[in-house]
Structure 1
Amino acid sequence: MALSRHLNGEGLTLAILLLAATIVCGLPLFLLFKLGFTSDGALSLGPLLEALNSRSVQRALWHSLESSFLSACAATLLGASVALLISLTDVRAKGLLVFLILLPMMIPPHVTAIAWIQALGPASPVLRWLGIAPEIGSTHPLYSREGLVLLLTLQHSPLVFLLVRAALRSFPRELSDAARVSGAGALRMLVRVTLPLLAPSLLAGFALAFVAALGNFGINALIGIPARYTTLPVLVWRRLASFGPDVLPNVAVISVILAAVALAAISLQSYFQHRMRTTLIGPPQTTLAIPLGRNRTYIELGLWAFVGAVLLLPAASLVATALVKTYGVPLAINTITFENFAEILWRQSVTLRAFVNSTFIAAAASIGIAVISILLGYFLSHRTKSHRRAAGLALGQAEVAFAVPGLVMSIAFILAFIAPLPFLNISLYGTIWIILIAYMSCFLAIGLKPVGAVFLQLDRSLEDAARVAGAGFERRLRIVFAPLVAPAAASGAVLVFLTAYNEVTVSALLWSTGNETIGTTIFNYEDGGYTTLAAAMSTVVVVATVFIMIAMNALRRRVPTGTIPWVN
């Protein structure tokens, strides 16, 4: 009877959540590490040491560390500088600037790579129209280590911008006011007050940019392969495509190396961030608006020039390439055609399937994660310590699954679900369902964060009142808590949808014929030489992404401040 009472209502729901998180987040990674450290059926470091002694693995590991470190340094410098400029000065149109600066973060990395390849190459329609394109037949300027680092920097600097901006908005205003009253100028206040307090956020931004670059597949593949600059994600993809008899153990070991580097980076970041933490007293207030005086116009022109160069040049090249029949044909009145859009939207069955599949998977994942986030968020703020610990264990597994590079998670899911499911005798591998489960595993942390933040702000006396009125667990959750956290859950679901709709890293190794996604289809078009079709499909994806981001603004008055990143 005691066990039955314990498993009723809250206890049973929490047990199901923890079991589900373990199956879709913890178990695949456990199987991956087990295979990576197994030789002849016994635990051994032999496979790992053998892989580390391989020249190709050593070279790919060095390239991954080098490109990730350099791009993370550049992204931290760029993102933090822009965040400080927008957050602490009186530049105008801040809301629009923030929206445009964060836009590249929502664009798939492989689309970013395709856009820049077409923008700066010898066949660039924009540069040829301006008469400054490189000579036909010359090496593409992006096909190098520096080109790879540049695109990774542009892709991930919005992450740093977002973190630094959020940190600045959480600072008590008294700190800055006291420094200014003491006679400190803007530069001195920045060096002596702001930057030391920002150190943990800067470190977190660097770590996020490093891990994101480490697991990035789209840019590493589309830039790195022509440049002969192979990184670990590309090496895994190539090894898995070879279909050898020991291909899974081989790529599992490489994936373990990639996962270990990512987890080590996150662990070091957490350690140093804790050591550098400074306790702040006082509520967050409106940040400073340091007057720029006569320099404001020039600084604003510089900001808008930067945003225009990052967004307009690749976007214009992408659209221009999509509007010509063959890549390299100059864009003119007599060469404009909409055949590429007609081809991908109406004629190509693979693209139609990809749009349907990605829409279904992304929508199902976002809805499922929204529901799970409401349930798990309730237990994360529960007054019972055992409930919080169990929910925290589920959250920890979800955060590890999110932190580990997507290509590693896809290998882990192949290992976990390549065999038929017990009792059901059904294999998920090669179906659309394995991609859906992988998305829910990898992106659960995205949807959970805004919901968890709202639950922590709620007064628990609401639940006490519902209990006194006789409401059970299901009724309390449905009538009291769900309506209060629904806007945050919807906002998180939209972010999950945007991330899943455009991604290619997780699905790169899980897709199969009939189960293509938008990301894999665009990548395959570009990799196969169908550049104009890749450009047309990328243009549609970018337009859809911008439309969804604009639509999210409708939620801004109904969700807590900061839930939608680009809304002040």
Structure 2
Amino acid sequence: MINTLSRRRINTRTSAGDWTLHEGGPLAICALFVVLIICGVPILQLVLAATGSFSAGVETTLKTFFSAQILTATSNTISVALASTIIAGTIGISLTLILMTVQLRARRLLAFVFILSLMISPQISALAFKTLAGPASPLLKAFGLAPPPGTPNPMLGFGGIVLVMGLQHAPLVAITLAAGLSRVPHSIIEAALLDGAKPLAIFSRILLPLVRPHVASALLLAFVAGVGNFGIPALLGLPVGYMTLPTLIFQKLASFGTNTIAEAALISMLIGIIASIGVIASARLLSRNNVRLQGGDRLAVFINAGRWRVWIEYGLWSFFILTIFIPMMSLLATSIVPAYGMLLRFDTLTLDQYVEVLWRQDITRRAFSNSMIYASFAAIILSIFCMLLAYVLDRRLTRIRSTILALVEMPYALPGVVVGIACILLFARPLPIIGVSIYATKWVILFAYCASFMAIALKPIFAAITSLDRDIEEAALLDGAGLRQRLLSIIMPLILPSLLAGALMVFLIAFNELTVSALLWSAGTETIGVVLLNLEDAGLPTQAAAMAVVSTMVVAILMLVLEVVGDMFPENTLPWRQLSAAQRNK
């Protein structure tokens, strides 16, 4: 029963208009404040620092920008990003069209393996290819295929960086393109088929023109990812002196020279400008997409390959074996020999490297623990906060929703090195009022993770909340339930699958993260990515390979868990399911 006073108050609210506009004001203000602090202030601090450098000495700043070192690194960065984008675009577009239009067996498994290559961190992919090639490769030596001793490793330098980066970013192209293809009405394809159109004509004259904005956007995002990639150039470029802008920042911060922070801020601003152009252009292209889905008329597979199907499947599996399975087997082979370069035989098999990194070495055990803790806390914090943020975006902040969403997307879209430098500038001095500094602590890494991955957690939660029927909540409101009670007893249970999906996706990405933590770590706060890079730099590739194998297994197991419970999540939450979502029309 509700008393007369509460009933009268509720009736007054609902009669005045939409009840969602009369409550949640303090929650909306708090959520907006947190978004501004986490996502906006660090980037603003970076812009102010770069502007301050210009105003303090334009001549000195221009001399820094046009120094031979920065010009070379900028040229290398753009060259690598462009070349890897061509590879990523070719692979991503081709595989997406095949997976979404051709009747194949195990389409879901093929898409899962393809996306797995994106979830494996860049530095692990680079290490896998590095250990695969060259005269010391345990896997090649086991089959007698290793090149002669003294032969340079072909993966070091421009060619190796471009190849690995292109393979790494191909799934990113596929995910973006799949979002556009899924909105193409299948009735258009059926009409073309009835007119006698061949698959190649449908691809060239119907599908690709309809999703042209998504194709261009996907290529731009691959370019942006290439500009900001740190792990691959660090492992395959630094050993031979091939410098890009992210690795240049890393070297400058490691050198502890004069004006290090100022120079790093300027270089990161240069990266941010290049990346922002790509991100803004990508967003504008997607906003011009005119494809409109009518009802449930989604694109479905329409190509019956007949006797060619088995050859297409063989081709896809062969490609994945060459680009994913064999490099990972090389990592495994490197991790079970006593020393890198030794011949892999039954009498040389050993698990000493795993014992070393998991039990003996304090720094590696601490790195696994830190990565697990940082990724877990980031996932928990972001999932809870994004539930509140998504609620107020849907109910209270509708007028500025697009602006807030763009602000949340900004740290994720920008390269991690930009976010890392922004956090250094923000927390290098003690915090105002409380006078406490979190620089060189675990808290600054956790803050950077929350800023970088908030968009990942928000996407499935926001999609779930916007699809909820408000009748249940209105009934609870008429029963006297307050906002907190409705959030805990109604909203959270209904969106729990989406909340868990967002949390697990954040954990997957943060667990092996390197770029941000490479700039923010200090003694005692090492992460898996940082220690793996340090082990490789110290000439201990077998231990680095053991760490890479363990962390990859964690990611693969979590992805399998997501796949098993994937039916609980909203549509298109899991990227590999989006790639294989188009079912054959009956």
> In 1, are the aligned partners of 2:408 and 2:454 still within 8 Å (CA)?
yes
Separation of aligned partners in 2, 1:412 and 1:375: 26
Match of 2:356 in 1: 343
Deviation at 1:392, TM superposition (A): 4.3
Match of 1:3 in 2: none
Indicate the SS of the match to 1:515. Answer: coil
The number of residue pairs the alignment matches comes to 559
The within-5 A match list for 1:85-484 is: 85-275=98-288, 277-285=290-298, 287-382=300-395, 384=396, 387-390=397-400, 392-484=402-494
Separation of aligned partners in 1, 2:550 and 2:375: 16
1:19 aligns with 2:33: yes
Deviation at 1:407, TM superposition (A): 1.0
Separation of aligned partners in 2, 1:552 and 1:456: 22
AA partner of residue 554 (structure 2): A
Deviation at 1:357, TM superposition (A): 0.8
Separation of aligned partners in 1, 2:231 and 2:257: 24
Deviation at 1:355, TM superposition (A): 0.9
Separation of aligned partners in 2, 1:28 and 1:173: 45
AA partner of residue 438 (structure 2): L
Match of 2:507 in 1: 497
The within-5 A match list for 1:524-535 is: 524-535=534-545
1:158-202 deviation line (CA, Å, top 9, x unaligned): 111222233323322101001111111111111111111121221
1:45-89 deviation line (CA, Å, top 9, x unaligned): 556533331111111111111111121122111111011111101
> In 2, are the aligned partners of 1:37 and 1:44 still within 8 Å (CA)?
no
> In 1, are the aligned partners of 2:357 and 2:364 still within 8 Å (CA)?
yes
> In 1, are the aligned partners of 2:78 and 2:227 still within 8 Å (CA)?
yes
1:30 aligns with 2:40: no
> In 1, are the aligned partners of 2:27 and 2:392 still within 8 Å (CA)?
no
Match of 2:10 in 1: none
Q: 1:331 to 1:101 in 2, by over 3 A?
A: same
Deviation at 1:525, TM superposition (A): 0.5
1:508 aligns with 2:536: no
Deviation at 1:356, TM superposition (A): 0.9
1:517-538 deviation line (CA, Å, top 9, x unaligned): 1110111101111111001111
Deviation at 1:211, TM superposition (A): 1.2
Separation of aligned partners in 2, 1:217 and 1:55: 21
Q: 1:7 to 1:305 in 2, by over 3 A?
A: closer
Separation of aligned partners in 1, 2:89 and 2:58: 36
Separation of aligned partners in 2, 1:479 and 1:389: 27
> In 2, are the aligned partners of 1:402 and 1:443 still within 8 Å (CA)?
yes
AA partner of residue 456 (structure 2): I
Which of 559, 571, 574 is 1:564 aligned to? 574
> In 1, are the aligned partners of 2:465 and 2:495 still within 8 Å (CA)?
yes
AA partner of residue 23 (structure 1): I
AA partner of residue 15 (structure 1): I
Deviation at 1:488, TM superposition (A): 0.6
Deviation at 1:7, TM superposition (A): 13
Indicate the SS of the match to 2:575. Answer: coil
Separation of aligned partners in 1, 2:45 and 2:563: 41
1:267-297 deviation line (CA, Å, top 9, x unaligned): 1222334345444444343512311112111
> In 1, are the aligned partners of 2:456 and 2:506 still within 8 Å (CA)?
yes
1:423-451 deviation line (CA, Å, top 9, x unaligned): 32221011111101110010000010111
Separation of aligned partners in 2, 1:466 and 1:49: 62
Indicate the SS of the match to 1:507. Answer: helix
Q: 1:275 to 1:10 in 2, by over 3 A?
A: closer
> In 2, are the aligned partners of 1:406 and 1:442 still within 8 Å (CA)?
yes
Instruction: Give percent identity, aligned residues only.
Output: 38
> In 1, are the aligned partners of 2:139 and 2:334 still within 8 Å (CA)?
no
CA RMSD after TM alignment: 1.9
Q: Structure 1: where are the runs of 5+ without partners?
A: 1-5
Deviation at 1:21, TM superposition (A): 1.5
Separation of aligned partners in 2, 1:277 and 1:233: 37
1:435-488 deviation line (CA, Å, top 9, x unaligned): 011100100000101111112222233333232222221122222211111111
Deviation at 1:203, TM superposition (A): 1.5
Which of 544, 550, 553 is 2:563 aligned to? 553
> In 2, are the aligned partners of 1:379 and 1:391 still within 8 Å (CA)?
no
Match of 1:487 in 2: 497
State TM-score, norm by structure 2. 0.92
Deviation at 1:565, TM superposition (A): 1.9
Deviation at 1:505, TM superposition (A): 0.6
Separation of aligned partners in 1, 2:572 and 2:21: 37
Separation of aligned partners in 1, 2:489 and 2:308: 54
Separation of aligned partners in 2, 1:478 and 1:48: 53
1:233-255 deviation line (CA, Å, top 9, x unaligned): 01111111111231111110111
